Amino acid sequence: MINHSRLIWIIFLLLAGFMLYLFFQTTTPQDQSRRAESQIYVSTSKVQSALLTRKVDALGTALAYDSARIVNASSDYLIELNIGEGQPVKKGDLIARFNDLEERARIAELKALMTEQNRQLARLKNLTRTQASAQSLLDEQQAKVNATRAQLDALEARLNELVILAPFDGVLGLRQVSNGAYLATGTELTTLDDISKIRVEFNIAERYLAALQTDMVISADNIAYPGFAFQGKVKAIDPRIDPVTRSVKVHAVIDNADLKLRPGMLLNVHVELAKAEVVQIAEKAVMPLQSKHYVFVVGAEDKVRQVEIIPGQRLPGLVEVISGLKVGDEIVTEGSQKLRTGVVITRSEP
């Protein structure tokens, strides 16, 4: 009986030990797994400063250095037209002449009349030396001469309006009228553009205004000439900032002696600003979210917090930080997908 009872206790103890063994075997891996999951491994780095040659990119529009619409100032018949479409002209070259026969005849008539009036005026001047009564006649004759002179000046001005000369060196545009047509005042005959130089108009964000100066070097490229860069310089900076876009308008000039560039072309403009010491981080640390950008900063007790930054110029693998970080901050560069503010991180082995 005693042996039987002892056997039962032995069996009970063995069974209890087996149950404890099973318990520890089943719970220990789960606890270890939970502890492993609670540790988030990330890579971090310190924010550093770097000397950066700031380069600003913008979209620009090519404009003629000088441009004019050639229109007539008076209504009349077109009797001579010298518009070689797309051909160069020099300043002062004849572009068009209108019917001026009536004006020339009237000018000849007035010149003859003035000659006679001036002869009468000279005779009266001699009389005033001996006859005081001749002074009133002299004044009357002088008034006639002045009136005729005024009519002659008006007709000569009218005659000049009937001749259109090139106001500057340039290239003529397409012809819009035909020789012999009667044209109303203000009718466009053609266009004239000086494209030996090209003005490039583009906008730069106001934060670069302090670094922007005239005579800075720019380069520009266009889809029509892949791989080719046009060189120029900044010539003018608008004194006003656009209150809507918060940008400043800039004009640069590019030499165009080979006439490759044409007014209206879209140009990719690159402006090289002065070198500056900037805050720079690895591009992989930046997390874009909608229109904003964030990084995780490591704080006390290895807790992270999400910080918004404003990125600037980008280089391969690197990005400038305009605001949001300072030199010496520790940021997460890899493994930020599982993070949120307040999480404690564990640094990965290098």
Rounded-to-integer distance, Cα 332 and Cα 69, Å: 61
191 in Cβ contact with 57 (< 8 Å)? no
pLDDT, one tens digit per residue, over 8-57 is 777 777 777 667 666 555 544 444 444 444 577 888 889 988 888 778 89
H-type alpha helices, 61-133: 101-127
148 strand-pairing partners: none
Rg (CA), the chain: 44
Cα 177 from Cα 256, distance rounded (Å): 29
Q: Does the pLDDT value for residue 61 go beyond 60? A: yes
* pLDDT tens track for 73-91: 888 899 999 999 989 999 9
Cα–Cα dist 327/307, whole Å: 15
Looking at residues 104-132, what average pLDDT do you find?
Answer: 81
State how far Cα 331 lies from the chain centre: 35
Confidence class for position 133, pLDDT limits 50, 70, 90: low
- Say which DSSP state 263 is in: T
Separation CA 107–CA 156 (nearest Å): 7
- pTM surpassing 0.75? no
How far apart are the C-alpha atoms of 178 and 163, rounded to whole Å? 16
Check residue 344 and report its DSSP letter.
Answer: B
Average pLDDT of span 294-306: 89
Mean pLDDT is highest, among 41-55, 112-126, 139-153, 249-263, for 249-263
Residue 108 has pLDDT above 60, yes or no: yes
Residue that wins the pLDDT comparison between 118 and 67: 67
pLDDT tens by residue, 168-185: 999 999 999 999 999 999
Percent of the residues in the chain that have a pLDDT greater than 70, as a whole number: 89
